[in-house]
Structure 1
């Protein structure tokens, strides 16, 4: 009997179908490999729905044929691509959609507004070949996929014209203008370094840092929630411990008034900062307040200050309710001429996006939260007369929201400066969330940036989420991004590097493709939509190079090998987590863990992540107890407990075998938690990874999870304050006085 050959790619018959051809034309992957390497084809239902979200009608055979014809016509008329990525320091070849008998003129306006004085030559393409689609490269092993890291390679066709731009084009964002006969075209050129250079300090030897949920660490001056004042102190003290960076939770902007969304990974805007973390007492104008006003601010602080000593879930709404009143008092007191000039400069530099954000905040506060029964989000656009009238009538509140962003920016900058002054190589490492709230300012003020039709972003089923995940966030429209030179992404990255020495990108696969989930089909039945990763990686390279920074990509889960290769080629670090680092990336709990020497060099390595309990809790099966308590298990608890035990045993075996832990400690885990935590970090310190990371929760002995995936309000996600193993709050000024934290720092420094 003949053996069955496992299918690994789409059949010729499927590829010939008009729907499949249409989907590929518009950047959809019609098949993919899951985390286990299983080949999966996207359903017709999902393809039709996702195409509709891109404005393409594929509801019938006739509409599919019409859409294919439209796409072919549009492509034939386009003189050049609207976004082109090239490599700084190398000549660039850009194909034009015109023939040799047309007269071609081209010029480049540089980022600074001047005209490029270098050479732009033309040549006729005599012969060539069509570049394979990225997704086709994914279907096999694709060693050739690494070629995609080079500058744009034209799809050459006999008799067409190409522009040759000499290597003197400076790094940056430029505008190419081309005329060919009577046709005219413009394009954004992203002229980026081929890779992000490793900072000199990191080249010398690998560097380590701390990870913390900033809001969880509080002091006597906090308002019940950790703030930018705490961050400044933490960074200064962390530098003294030998650390060179500190990764914190995303600090993107949220709602202007309670109720607040606790998850930092579901912001209202990624362009601006979370103002709830402002410390009023650190604002320059606080010190010069009139006595009565200052007493009011102090009384508001006193009303919530006692919460800083409570180890229970933080009341983020009560904290912001009190703090916002205090901030308004300080704002109303005014500023001197110099400070007012600085504020106005900030507003001018931030541009129209700040005005949009302040307008959204105004509508939110006066008309109500858009996710409740209020319809203004859907019925009134930002340009409507009603909205403009509201802004005019409440100019003070509009200005207040702009001012909050200025103050937040000042305080984050002060924290980063404290880190650098303390001798940190990188300082603050910011975390970029995958997307934004569907009813946030970005989606309201600029709906053209996002896909329509009720699609949301998530991920297909994997080891840890067998039903897949729907994050409820609207995806960027790749057509819009391409037509505008990915400007919205550039502004976001620039804003983050303005405050930080490194940026971690959550779910970095999103630079290549995002899993779009049509409304009502469930997370399993989505489709991957491809993005121009070269454009976004180019912007990351430009912004990181300009500040001597680094980029780290969270590449856990369903991430194809070619993505990791491309990221590495661009100088983007990947992510290694000890609890996930099994030999051959096995998904099976109990399979052996790989030795330290097998970790990637081009990576940020850590023991744990924010989606797992702290290491002390993980070793004591807090995740098993919590999932049983919250009824999150799909099978018997005994089965999950057995897998957790097998996982822990495998880790103990690795530590013992590699000489980091004596066997008697491995045989009696509960009595040697701190020693085991330190042993796991000692193994981490022996990896070749460029950056290493220890969590403050592991330093103080905390056992509770900060976040339990799969829950919302069933668990106090993102509201757990920092406490030790006895549930005693560890305050900001106490963290680095802790003997456990000091011991862990010594392990990371290699002095113990």
Structure 2
């Protein structure tokens, strides 16, 4: 790289949405290296490796909006006064209309706002300003323009999104559970927790006045070994994971529509007998579970196909999911032949809509159809679980979790093409708990391309996660404001924040939440932009508060009444060990063993011990524990303490109900720690079945302590 004009590249970066400096976790201002700025700008389609490239990219960036007649996308809040800029050859007539979602048309009126014309590639381009009516209904609309003396030239339409001012609010102040579904292994599980196990947990919770169950992301992975264990690194955020299907439910579903022969019944029984042995293993083995679950599901699919079953619900879901579902089925079929990572596929299959992909799809139509069928089956079972949760008395029911991103070689990255940035991944800079930063190995959305596409990929993803959910948790919602981009080859600490259009991202989220009638919970932990929490609260979206991170200005644990109302409060989170483990400093043992502590381990232990002592003293002063409480007494007291907070929602970790001590995830690691593969155990480290868990005295104590009272 040969950059001498640092001011120019920093100006270009700032205009393009990059933050050239930021506040580090130690309270010091950090400057982003010019090499990092150049790499990130390149990922945004703005070459910046030399002074000449920077100058050319700056000119092109300035000219981009002038090259379109109407903006590619405009987002406005309902009831607000807003205008849009329209660009036409200088002196040309133009007529602009809003084509509404219901098919009606509204003429836009031009307003006085003189702007000098711009010389663009040798032609003068003028800018006209048009007012958007304040009474436009919420929804997905279009802006269309006719240009020329006779208004005969139709310019490409732009997307117009009118969004609500707020999202649905929880009906009542309540408590619920949060869990990693794969850990909920019952005596009938096939080595991994499934949707029937989730239904059992919701029933147990509802009987104790819980109003929701928050589950880890249930998004899809390629059907190829090795299956990615992290629920936060899926192949797609639009489709589900067949591993969570309940085979017995699937068999009953098929049996209601066609006869299941004896040999199929015997096959399913034999596979189930092998699969349940996996429940005795001290590891979640997704490959072993799928190796048994897939042939069972294929046998049922073959029956479905041979009987030519027509199911109205399946047909409707397939119609609504549309072309993305069909492409996903093809992606899975290709994965079976060429591997799970599309970046290693033959070049002729690298483009989702290429001719060779269409030929492959035709040649492997039945295999692709199988994966589409699995998604239809997942829809039916997820719908059943949510229905049972609401029928049992839960006001919210299932809360789905939307991960930050997807696998760089996965189905979404393959399907969305230019909507995702290449050559960069996302993560977070260094903080108190991850002093080397984190690289999540996921490509980010390109904010400019999302706008160019009218946010359609984002909208479709939201509609999928809101389906069969009473609420949705957005992991790292701070990424809706800015996201830490890390150029390939850099360490996690050597990245920069890239701003997104938060008004558009949050507005569309509010629109889709309103249509789904669902609550939004934004996980806003970490380095928080100052405007983020105010923006969430303004929209009626909840944040997230974890007891160990909440302190008053005078250095004591935050009093329950001082918690913000607009949040989901929890004692712990999946990036920390369960509460019993945290109290025993299990997280420091792991980080010391893996070399993840930047400073002295003795100092880290002393600091964490002081933190715990201050919290326990707060419990003691509240009369919740005595002078020498047991570890279990402290765990129960912490839940009773936080249940009395001002937070609208309070979440209880299912691992805490078991007395588990092992963390499910150690941030900043890959294979150094068995992330997302740790089954649930009790305080003594014994494997715990779901039935044992829900019948345990500790679970009963914590549930009783967690009930909310007005």
Which TM-score applies when normalising by structure 1? 0.87
Distance 2:362 2:424 in 1: 35
Q: 1:692 matched to which residue of 2? A: 650
Q: Report what 1:48 is aligned to.
A: 38
Q: Is the 8 A contact 1:238 1:736 kept in 2?
A: no
Q: Distance in 2 between matches of 1:126 and 1:60?
A: 36
Corresponding residue SS for 2:434? coil
Find out whether 1:298 has 2:256 as its counterpart.
Answer: no
- Which residue is equivalent to 2:118? none
Distance change in 2, residues 1:161/1:100 (3 Å) = farther
Asked whether the equivalents of residues 223 and 323 of structure 1 are also in contact (C-alpha less than 8 Å), the reply is yes
* Mapped pair 1:628 → 2:628: no
Contact 2:487-2:495 at 8 Å conserved across structures: yes
When residues 377 and 418 of structure 1 are mapped into structure 2, their CA distance, relative to the original with a 3 A threshold, is farther
> How far is 1:286 from its partner?
4.9
Change (3 A) 1:375 1:544: closer
Change (3 A) 1:362 1:558: same
Aligned length: 689
Matched, 1:463 2:432: yes
Query: Match for 2:189 among 214, 222, 247?
Result: 222
In the alignment, which residue of structure 2 is the partner of 1:274?
Answer: 241
Output the CA distance in 2 between the equivalents of 1:361 and 1:389. Answer: 15
Report matched runs for 1:82-121 at 5 Å: 82-97=72-87, 103-112=93-102, 114-116=103-105, 120-121=108-109
- The corresponding residue for 2:119 is none
CA contact (8 A) 2:348 2:357 kept: no
Which runs of no fewer than 5 residues in structure 1 stay unpaired?
Answer: 1-13, 128-158
- Closer, same or farther in 2 for the Cα pair 1:208/1:636, shift >3 Å? same
> Quick one: which of 465, 473, 485 aligns to 1:504?
473
Report what 1:729 is aligned to. 687
Residue 562 (structure 1) aligned with residue 550 (structure 2):
no
Alpha-carbon deviations, 1:683-739, whole Å to 9, x = none?
211211111111111112111111122222222221222232133433334433322
Counterpart check, 1:361 vs 2:332:
yes
Q: Does 1:676 align with 2:654?
A: no
**Cα distance change on mapping 1:371 and 1:637 into 2, 3 Å:** farther
Partner deviation per Cα, 1:297-326 (whole Å, 9 max, x = no partner): 11011112122244x112221111100011
Provide the C-alpha distance between the structure 1 equivalents of 2:620 and 2:147, rounded to a whole number of angstroms: 70
- The whole-number CA distance in structure 2 between the counterparts of 1:371 and 1:708 is 27
Name whichever of 241-250 and 92-101 sits farther off.
92-101
Does the residue aligned with 1:232 lie in a helix, a strand or coil? Answer: helix
* Counterpart-to-counterpart distance in 1, 2:603 and 2:365: 60
Q: Tell me how far apart the structure 2 counterparts of residues 71 and 309 of structure 1 sit (CA, whole Å).
A: 59
What is the CA distance between 1:467 and its match in structure 2? 1.9
Give me the whole-angstrom Cα distance separating, in 2, the residues matched to 1:187 and 1:722.
50
Q: Which runs of 5+ in 2 are unaligned?
A: 116-125
Q: 1:248-302, CA deviations, whole angstroms, 9 ceiling, x for partnerless residues?
A: 1101111212211111011111111111111111010156411111110110111
Does the C-alpha gap of structure 1 residues 240 and 184 become closer, same or farther in structure 2, counting only changes over 3 Å? same
Counterpart-to-counterpart distance in 2, 1:257 and 1:99: 54
Cα pair 2:437 2:668 within 8 Å, conserved:
no
For residues 159 and 692 of structure 2, the distance between their equivalents in structure 1, rounded to whole angstroms, comes to: 50
Residues 299-698 of structure 1 aligned to structure 2 (within 5 Å): 299-310=270-281, 312-334=282-304, 339-370=310-341, 374-376=344-346, 380-452=350-422, 454-584=423-553, 591-662=555-626, 664-665=627-628, 669=629, 672-698=630-656
Contact 1:377/1:444, CA 8 A, preserved across alignment? no
| 1:8 corresponds to | none
User: Secondary structure, in 3 states, of the residue corresponding to 1:351?
Assistant: helix
Change (3 A) 1:304 1:183: closer
Shift of 1:676: 1.0
Equivalent position to 1:72, from 55, 59, 62: 62
Tell me which residue corresponds to 1:739: 697
8 Å Cα contact 2:438-2:667 kept in structure 1: no
Q: Following TM superposition, by how much is the alpha carbon of 1:40 offset from its aligned partner in structure 2, in angstroms?
A: 2.2
Residue in 1 that maps onto 2:200: 233
Q: Take 1:102 and 1:363, find their aligned partners in 2: how far apart are those partners?
A: 51
- 8 Å contact 1:241–1:736 — kept in the other structure? no
Contact 2:389 2:398 in 1 (8 A): yes
CA distance in 2, matches of 1:258, 1:342: 31
Alignment of 1:97-176 (within 5 A): 97=87, 103-112=93-102, 114-116=103-105, 120-125=108-113, 161-176=128-143
Counterpart-to-counterpart distance in 2, 1:674 and 1:609: 18
Contact 1:253/1:273 (8 A) holds in 2: yes
Does the 8 Å contact 1:357/1:441 carry over to 2?
A: yes
Determine if contact 1:594/1:654 at 8 Å carries over to the other structure: no
Q: Does the 8 Å CA contact 2:474/2:521 hold for their aligned counterparts?
A: yes
Instruction: Supply the distance in 1 between the matched residues of 2:158 and 2:216 (Cα, whole angstroms).
Output: 36
The farther-off stretch of 632-641 and 97-106 is 97-106
Q: Deviation of residue 510 (structure 1)?
A: 0.9
The Cα of 1:746 is off from its aligned counterpart by 1.6
1:629: Cα distance to partner? 3.3
Aligned to 2:122: none
CA 1:378–1:41 in 2, change beyond 3 Å: closer, same or farther?
farther
Aligned partners of 2:291 and 2:98: how far apart in 1?
51
How much has 1:632 moved relative to structure 2?
3.1
Quote the Cα distance in structure 2 between the aligned partners of 1:375 and 1:496: 29
Residue 441 of structure 2 aligns to a residue in which SS?
strand
Note closer, same or farther for the CA distance 1:313–1:185 as it changes in structure 2 (3 Å cut): same
Q: Distance in 1 between matches of 2:83 and 2:104?
A: 19
What CA distance in whole angstroms lies between the structure 1 residues aligned with 2:263 and 2:358?
A: 35
**C-alpha spacing 1:714/1:59, structure 2 compared with 1 (3 Å):** closer
Deviates more, 1:454-463 or 1:260-269: 454-463
